[in-house]
Structure 1
Amino acid sequence: MTTTAPSRPSLTQRLRGVSGEVVKFGVVGLVGIFVNFGVSNAVLHLTGWAPVRCSVIGTAVAIAANYLGYRYWVYRDSDAASRRREITLFLIFSGVGMLIENGTVWFSTYTLGLTGSLAYNVSKAFGTGLGTLFRFFSYRTWVFKAIPELAEPAAETAAAEAPAAEAPAAEDGPAVIAQAERLLTTEGVQFAK
């Protein structure tokens, strides 16, 4: 039995595959930005608290809203077998994104001495952009992992190569199972036993 190694998709094909994900991620992100800026500015102007504290509150509320969008829309097809692991990683990476975002607010307020609504929102926007880049790559890489799919072309190739007249006998069951496991292993698909 000969097998062919699956060809890797070209860069253009990979970018096309990611483009829909990027658009959905962007929509959820925009909702999160409106929530983040709305909540943080409301808290800032209504309470008079420190800018970084208000920014952290807005970011925390946006993280909760974004999780719902990512889990149930953008990455709804991802492996949800270990929800505790997913939520833990989501919160860790969101926390790092929060530090990136609110670090820019802290830097502009306390290091550069820039105060006022415009300076606050510009520094928050800059930090949100940096945090979003970090979150996108960390969420898709570590948090919302895709479910491995069986490679249908490989199965079709194996079926086409097998002679039609040779049907496995009942006593050949273990051999057929071993052959199927080898095929799945070569395709990079692994199942828990």
Structure 2
Amino acid sequence: MLRFAVVGGLGVVVNFSVFNLCRSVTALPTVRCSVISTSVAVLVNYVGFRYFAYRDRDKRRPAREFILFVVFSVIGLVIENGVLYAATYWFGWDTALQSNLFKAIGLAVATGFRFWAYRTWVFRWQGSGHPPGHSSPKSDVEQFRP
């Protein structure tokens, strides 16, 4: 979890930096800047997760891993930017402070989803799906067999 937080922290810095830079130097709408910044952060995070946070996980199917990472990242992107979209277009909250606040709320919700999805589906343990040294639970029959 600590390694996930380190990589995620870097992703947050990249995400907010690109977001605020895009808002200040372009005429793009707020949510479009956010989608761009989230996409850049996702690419940075993939490298960090694969080679730092989950480097000890199964590496036998990199194409599958990357596709699942992208799918779950897009779902996270929709969650994160859905909150920002609602704040911006439904409530008219579009100042820099409001946009950053609602982007942060959306990012927090999306991060919980991504943490679960990446650990469960993307960066799996090699073999049994359990960490090394962890045996899977015995079935009821095996438990009581002498």
Please say whether Structure 1 and Structure 2 have the same fold, judged by a TM-score greater than 0.5.
Answer: yes
The counterpart of 2:85, out of the listed 106, 109, 114, is 106
Q: Deviations over 1:4-35 (max 9, x none)?
A: xxxxxxxxxxxxxxxxxx11101100100000
Structure number, greater radius of gyration: 1
Q: Deviations over 1:147-181 (max 9, x none)?
A: 2377699xxxxxxxxxxxxxxxxxxxxxxxxxxxx
TM-score by length of structure 1 reads: 0.66
CA RMSD after TM alignment: 1.7
CA distance in 1, matches of 2:62, 2:104: 31
2:138 aligns with none
Task: Go from structure 1 to structure 2 and tell me whether the alpha carbon gap of 1:76 and 1:109 turns closer, same or farther (over 3 Å shift).
Answer: same
How far the C-alpha of 1:48 sits from its partner, in A, is 2.1
Structure 2: any 5+ residue segments left out of the alignment? 136-141
**Aligned partner of residue 49 in structure 1, secondary structure:** coil
Q: Does 2:95 match 1:116?
A: yes
What percentage of aligned pairs have identical amino acids? 44
CA distance in 1, matches of 2:44, 2:105: 20
Aligned pair count reads 133
2:114 aligns with 135
Task: Go from structure 1 to structure 2 and tell me whether the alpha carbon gap of 1:52 and 1:89 turns closer, same or farther (over 3 Å shift).
Answer: same
CA distance in 1, matches of 2:77, 2:47: 17
TM-score by length of structure 2 reads: 0.87
Runs of 4+ in 1 over 4 A off after TM superposition: 149-153
CA distance in 2, matches of 1:44, 1:118: 12
